[in-house]
Structure formats: C-alpha cells, structure tokens
Amino acid sequence: MAKKVDMKEHILQLMHRPERIKNMGIVAHVDHGKTTTCDSLLAGAGIISDELAGDQTWLDYDQIERDRGVTIKSANVSMVHEYQGDEYLINLIDTPGHVDFGGEVTRALRAVDGVIVLTDAVEGVMPQTETVLRQALKEYVRPMLYINKVDRFVRELKYTPEQMQARFINIINDVNNIIHHYAPSELREKWKVSVQDGSVAFGSSYFKWATNVEVMKRTGIGFAEIIQKVQEEKQDELHQRTPLTDTLLTMVIRHLPDPRTAQSYRMKYLWRGDPESVVGKSLTSMDTKGPVIGCVTKVVNDPHAGLVAAVRLFSGTLRNGTSVRLLGAKIRTNISQIAIYKGPFRLMVDEIPAGNILAIVGLNDAESGETISEVDDMEPFESITHLFEPVVTKSIEPKQPKELPKLINALKDIAREDPCIKVTINQETGENLICGLGELHLEVWQTRLERDWKVNVNVSQPIVVYRETVTKLSPEVEGKSPNKHNKFYITVEPLSEEVRNAMSEGRLREGEVRKKDEELIKTLVGFGMESDVAKKVKFIHSQCILADVTKGQVHLPEIMETVIEGFREAVDTGPLAKEKVSGILVKIVDCKLHEDAIHRGPAQVIPAMRDGIRNAMVSADPLLLEPVQKIRIDAPYEFMGSVASMVNQRRGRTIEIKEERGSSVVIAEMPVSEMFGYTGDLRGATQGKGFWSLIDSKFKPLPRSKIIETINDIRKRKGLELIEAPPAQ
C-alpha cells in the first residue's frame, strides 16, 4: 500500500525521477463510476479516509457538481503509490462523463500519457465510452480497461462465472475494436487491452475491490469466489484481499509509459516543428535542462489567486519568477507561483521539472491549448481539437443594465476558461450570445456566472446554431475595393466530404499554412483535391479553405495578411443569415492591384475579399446546414412504439432497432432544433425507464422547404432585413 506520511516530500523527490512518474486520467461514460473509483485510489494513498471513500466524491468539490450529482470539471491530484519496494508519483486527472462537458476530457488528455477507460459491467461500452476513448487515441494516449460494478452481475442478473466471462469478452472486444479503428497504426496492436497481460481489471469501485489476472494468480481468488462473497454480502473481505488501489495503480505502473518514453512518440503528433532543432530534441527527450516549454490544458478563475493554469511541462525546469512567452497571446510574462495539485487544494513549490503536471499562477492572458515557452519564436503545440462543436446558443443580458460591462468581462473570462463555450458580443445590436455543447452545459455556466461573477442575468430560450455552405461551383465573381482601384476575381465551391470530415476530426489543422507543407498537400490530394490547388492553399478557417491560384501577381503576397482577414470575415458571417460558413473552397483566380501600396491597404482589401466571397456564394446555390445528432435511446421493449413515434414527430430518422440485455436500443438521428425538452418527454413516455446518449453530431442540409422560414427567423433575431425568396440558384 502507498505510504501515508509527508506526501509532499515524497512528491518533491519523485518529480525529479521521470522513470517513477505516471501521468494518467480516468475516462468513462456518465455514471459509470469514475469519481467513486478516484475516491478509492485517494483512500489507498492516504489522502482521504477509507471509510468515506465511495461516498465522499472528493474530486467533485464544486458545489454545482455536488448539487447535480455529476462531474462537471476535470480535477487533478498528485499522489504516491508503492510497488515492489519502489515509490511512484501518480499525477491523476478525474474527468467528466457527461457529453456536455467532453471538452474538459479533451483538454485533460493533452496533459496525460495514459488512461484507465472505465465501463459499467452491465451497460458495457456506451456512446460516451467510445467518444472519450477516441479522444485519448487521437492524443496518442495509451488506454487500459477497468470493468466496474461487477457485483451487479451477481446481485441483479444472477450470472454464473461462465456468463460473467462471456460478458467481459464482449466488452473487451468492443474496446479493442475502437482501438483498432482509431489508434495510431504503429501502436494499434501494442495498445489493445488483454486479460492475459493484465491490462484489463474487474471490480466494484463502491466496495473498493478490483482484480485482474495477476491478482487472481497471486491470491487464488477467482470469479466463483467473487460471486460467493457478493452473494454473502462480504465484499469488505474482497476489499481487504484485493484492494482496488493496489490492483489499478499496479496496472498503471506496469503498463502505462513514463513521461519521457511517452514524449518520444507523442511529440510527432503534438508538435510539428523541426525534431532536429534544439527545441525539438529537448521536447522529444524531455530534457529537464532544456528551455522551459509547456502546454496549458485548463484555466480557472480563482477568486483569491486570479487566473490559475494547469500545465503539462514537456521541457526544462520551471521555477518561480521564470519569464515565459505565451505564443498565442504573443506576450511575455513572469511566473508568480507554481504548485502541485491536491484536488481542491494547491501545494506551493519552488521548482518543477519537465514530465509533471502543475498549477501556475500569473499567466493572466492564457487560454487552454496555449503554448508557454522561454523560446520566443518556436513552433507552438498543435491546437486542442474537440470532437463536437457548440450547437446550442442562448441570448444573455444583465437584469440591471448598469452591469453590462461586468457581464461582458465575465463572458470573456468564461470563454477563456472553457474553449467549448463560444461568446459573441455584438456592440451594434447589444445582443450577447453564449453558445455551448448542450442545455446542461449552458445552465451550469449561467449558474457560475451568477455565483462566481455576481452578475444576475436574463437568458433566452435555446437558439440553434446553423452553418452556411454552397452546393456547386460559382462563376468567377469580382470583388471590388471601395476606392475601385483593386479587384479580386473569386470562385467558391463545396469541399469534398472527406476534407470536411478530416477538418472536423482535427486531422487538418486550422490557421496559416506553412510554405511547402508536404504533409498537408499529400493529405488534400489524397482526398481528391487537384495537386495544383493543394499546393496553393494559404489559410484554413472554420472548415473553409482559401487558395491563391493566381499567376504572376507580385503584389499579392505583400497584402496576403489582409486578404486572409477578408476571407475570415466572409466565412465568419455568411450571406444568408450571417451564420458561420462551413465546407467551402475559396479560390483567388486573378486580381488587379494598385501599384501604390497606400491604395491597397486593409480598408480596401478586406471589403473587396469579403464581399467578393459572399457574392460568389450567393451564385453557387447556397444552403443552410442544421446540427443533427445521432443518438442512442435505451428503453424497455414495451415502450418501443412510443419511442419510435417521438423520433418521427421530431423530424427524426430511425437508423436501427436492436435488443441488448433484455431492453431495446434505438439508434436515430434528430435535428438539434427538435431536441429541446426531449429528455423529459422520453421519461414521461417510458415511465421514467428510458434514457438517451449522444453518439455523434454533424451539420446536415436543412430541408429546402424550411430554409426561408429558418433564415428569416435568424435574420429577425439579429435585426436584419427579411427575405422573400431563396437566393439565386
């Protein structure tokens, strides 16, 4: 068992020994038992009492989490575990399971090198299980599997040992199928979980016991005895003989990589700079004597300390007072304090070497995903991309008009703290919009806005976010500058589905394209883009691509920055309803520019590009895209008629109906605009026995019969002139 004396001293010693460090997270579907599992691990480390573990939910320390009974924010804790006479530092991150807070999971995964994927033994691999495992694999984070709530097999389902093992095999196969599909090709087979090698464990976190093949061999306790102890209500004996802490953390120590090993293969994904440069070598080898380089994975507004940033340090040794540059914010600042995490508390320290997860006070302009570095001109880390986009919006205003400045500052803080919250502040109309992943996501931030920022607000009913796109190639359209001296000739066309999917999954990075980016060119050509066009791509933004295919234009490179700004403005507010544009390729095919630079400044170039793109879109059969969710509905078989009827009534489409473990499962697609209030209606129609889970979310074409009505609803809300007919086709 872990030692329970002077843990801070143990941590300070171990953080300088990378071979003894494990940075890990716990990920799962909602209510599968992550926070309860963390309680047991913390009890084993001596942080909380063994008697309270399972009920205390120590890492759900925000009152909103306790009130709602759901993990909302990722929580960090450092602890020590002893294995075969050696002590190891475990930097653990507990993550949310609810899909509305999936952004917290994605950002936490940047900080860790391995995860325990936790599943409920009865429910198995659920949609969010697959989502979080996909996120982990996308970040080159190695998984292990823990099957929780095994006692339910005995108490509820009366399984025999053979039935239990058959169910375990199904769950393991489901997890390995996901790993096979999404893991990096070179690590796919190595990372598959296996009972035989001990990378799969079984147990009950609430009763604080767990086992795997190694524990079974050591203790002689097999499934038959486990069934007997559960039947006799003697799970406390299992806790004494096969404690969860020892089983899981020993599994972590044996199978998850130390930070130096992990960085040797993770860096090629996390960072696209030159691996042979000084920075590249320091990152790949995790050189504690190299330049300080880290990635911000979370920021929190602390009422006492100000902005506190959680950082994974990949290079160098950070000390109080170190001067670092925030590469995204383009400012340099001094570190005020550094600390290690202990759940709701922070333990101040003087220095922390690379390979650790730490808290930093003083990065007041930091956002999640920010790169901090002592090197001013280094390539930043890859941006942290989320699988799902914010699709639900509410208009928000202060109850007291005099608090408007306070509200605007609070919204800016919220957007910095949670990148999955998109805030739009319209100075002209006075409308402030806050967009999130779902209704619960927005409700929680509204509660925090009133509690933490002391701003009482009125919010509108949920508003759905749409996207604008085109369905065919436009003719060549002229964009003319206000002074008439500069002209751009532009075409727009739809991007292929493969390219759109690659961008939505984060396989194509957004932002300015470096010269001769061979990897990007190869990827785009592989997706069907002409080679000559792929080589001329200049910028990727909002799942739209700008390419300069002109020839012999000597002045165009000089104003490319303002050309890109015009492109950004055009795709941020489309021509139909000023919604974001998605999935288009914009090509500059020719231009005529004034010889004198003073006549082709930003005030001339930006409107010419912006208006040219919008006019080209109008002539390319523009279309509105609506967010559509693919969901899984679980309900008893006798309620299938009601469930199917509710799907049809909400413009939904039933994809599949199947039976699993005595209940029916419906896989369906429904527009987000029809999903409001669905949870309550489903419970009412199934006598409280039905529930649904999100599988995927995509933007799909809105039926043409609803386009004019929807466009005018949006334009009316935004104070724009209404239209009577669809745009020219």
- Is residue 521 a part of any domain in this protein? yes
The Cα 542–Cα 544 span in angstroms is 5
- Is residue 231 a part of any domain in this protein? yes
Q: Helix (H, G, I), strand (E, B), or coil: what is residue 151?
A: helix
- The number of distinct structural domains making up the chain is 5
561-586, pLDDT tens digit by residue?
Answer: 999 999 999 999 999 999 999 999 99
Are residue 60 and residue 148 in the same domain, yes or no?
yes
Which of 430, 464, 498 is at the close of a domain?
A: 464
Query: By the 8 A CB rule, do 478 and 448 touch?
Result: no
Question: Across the strands, what pairs with 631?
Answer: 668, 694
As a whole number, mean pLDDT of residues 2-23 equals 80
Are residue 485 and residue 594 in the same domain, yes or no?
yes
- Is residue 184 a part of any domain in this protein? yes
Are residue 531 and residue 409 in the same domain, yes or no?
no
Label residue 63 by pLDDT band (50, 70, 90). Answer: confident
Label residue 5 by pLDDT band (50, 70, 90). Answer: very low
As a whole number, mean pLDDT of residues 459-469 equals 91
- Is residue 515 a part of any domain in this protein? yes
671-729, pLDDT tens digit by residue?
Answer: 999 988 888 899 899 988 888 888 888 999 999 899 999 999 999 888 889 988 766 54
Question: Across the strands, what pairs with 590?
Answer: 489
Query: By the 8 A CB rule, do 221 and 174 touch?
Result: no
User: How close are the terminal C-alpha atoms of the chain, in Å?
Assistant: 71
Are residue 559 and residue 605 in the same domain, yes or no?
yes
* Tokens (6 digits) for 142: 């190695």
295-311, pLDDT tens digit by residue?
Answer: 999 998 887 778 899 99
Residue 384 DSSP class:
P
Label residue 428 by pLDDT band (50, 70, 90). Answer: low
- Is residue 298 a part of any domain in this protein? yes
Separation in Å, CA 559 to CA 198, 555, 704: 59, 7, 39
Provide the Cα torsion 119, 201, 239, 62; round to 10°.
-40
The strand pair at 371-373 and 323-326 is best described as: antiparallel
The Cα 308–Cα 534 span in angstroms is 41
Residue 127's contacts (CB-CB under 8 Å, 6 or more residues apart) are: 29, 99, 632, 693, 694, 695
As a whole number, mean pLDDT of residues 163-174 equals 94
Q: Nearest Cα to 11, choosing from 243, 3, 258, 287?
A: 3
As a whole number, mean pLDDT of residues 14-25 equals 95
- Is residue 523 a part of any domain in this protein? yes
As a whole number, mean pLDDT of residues 180-187 equals 92
Which of 231, 257, 283 is at the close of a domain?
A: 257
pLDDT score of 387: 78
Residue 10's contacts (CB-CB under 8 Å, 6 or more residues apart) are: 3, 80, 87, 89
The CATH number of the domain holding residue 429 is 3.30.70.870
As a whole number, mean pLDDT of residues 362-366 equals 86
The Cα 32–Cα 22 span in angstroms is 23
Label residue 57 by pLDDT band (50, 70, 90). Answer: low
The CATH number of the domain holding residue 657 is 3.30.70.240
**Least confident interval from 93-97, 429-433, 451-455:** 429-433
Are residue 54 and residue 176 in the same domain, yes or no?
yes
601-619, pLDDT tens digit by residue?
Answer: 999 999 999 999 999 999 9
Q: H/E/C letters for each residue in 412-447?
A: HHHHHHCCCCEEEECCCCCCEEEEECCHHHHHHHHH
Are residue 477 and residue 594 in the same domain, yes or no?
yes
As a whole number, mean pLDDT of residues 264-284 equals 94
The pLDDT of residue 2 is above 50: no
pLDDT score of 728: 54
- Is residue 2 a part of any domain in this protein? no
Residue 525's contacts (CB-CB under 8 Å, 6 or more residues apart) are: 531, 534
The CATH number of the domain holding residue 28 is 3.40.50.300
pLDDT score of 469: 96
Are residue 552 and residue 587 in the same domain, yes or no?
yes
The Cα 219–Cα 225 span in angstroms is 11
Which of 464, 487, 518 is at the close of a domain?
A: 464
Length of the chain: 729
Are residue 70 and residue 166 in the same domain, yes or no?
yes
Are residue 50 and residue 126 in the same domain, yes or no?
yes
Are residue 272 and residue 202 in the same domain, yes or no?
no
C-beta neighbour count of 80 within 10 angstroms: 25
pLDDT score of 161: 87
The CATH number of the domain holding residue 530 is 3.30.230.10
- On average, the pLDDT of the chain sits at 89
Are residue 129 and residue 14 in the same domain, yes or no?
yes
Q: pTM for the full model?
A: 0.85
Are residue 233 and residue 267 in the same domain, yes or no?
no
- Is residue 724 a part of any domain in this protein? no
Query: By the 8 A CB rule, do 561 and 548 touch?
Result: no
Q: Is 719 left (phi over 0), alpha (psi -120 to 50) or beta?
A: left
Separation in Å, CA 248 to CA 88, 263, 489, 708: 13, 23, 62, 57
DSSP characters over 584-595: EEEEEEEEE--S
* Tokens (6 digits) for 452: 């933490």
pLDDT score of 4: 42
Question: For residue 453, what are the domain limits?
Answer: 392-464
